[in-house]
Amino acid sequence: MRAPTVMAILTILALWLPEQTARSIAVLLQRSQETRAVGLQWQWIMAAASLLLLSLVLWQATRELTHLVSKDEDLDREPIAKVLLDWGPRLLATTPFIGAGLGLWYSSLPDKRVLTDADKIPELLKPIVVEAGRLRVGAQRANLSRASRPPWFCSSPSPF
């Protein structure tokens, strides 16, 4: 169950933290405000279908792995283990929607680089938003350090 848990955590981070995700969400929100017609909302339908498909993949993978472990360990007799084996896959299947919800919420904040209006952020989520800002700054620094290297400074040999 470790691999699906790591997949679920990476899913939440991928749908929440990258600046490109926030921009994509902002474009979708802008288009939905400009066009109110139902037929022009196919982007939202495709996004929801993608999240549902990812959710089903996470659920199926976790379910199969927990059944494999429970057969080997004979965990079906213990009630706590049975509850965990039944509800673990279901809870991990919700992570794509949790990540998308956090991404929607985070993209609606006025300025994500600097928390100038910290009063609008609930107290429970302030440490998470601050840590997300630190992660984003670290990722941007890593990308800048990679981009500033000269082209001949590569660890892999050139094919030419």
pTM of the model: 0.59
Query: Could you give the CA distance from residue 81 to residue 1 in angstroms, rounded to a whole number?
Result: 13
Element (H, E) at 17: none
Q: 146: which 2 tokens? A: 């990679």
* pLDDT the model gives residue 159: 47
* pLDDT the model gives residue 52: 92
Query: Could you give the CA distance from residue 25 to residue 106 in angstroms, rounded to a whole number?
Result: 10
Mean pLDDT, contiguous 10-residue spans, the chain (160 residues): 83 82 77 62 82 91 84 76 85 90 78 57 77 75 58 49
* pLDDT the model gives residue 17: 78
Q: What is the DSSP string of 93-149?
A: HTHHHHHHHHHHHHHTSS-SSS-S-GGGS-TTTHHHHHHHHHHHHHHHHHHHHHHTS
* pLDDT the model gives residue 148: 54
* pLDDT the model gives residue 37: 59
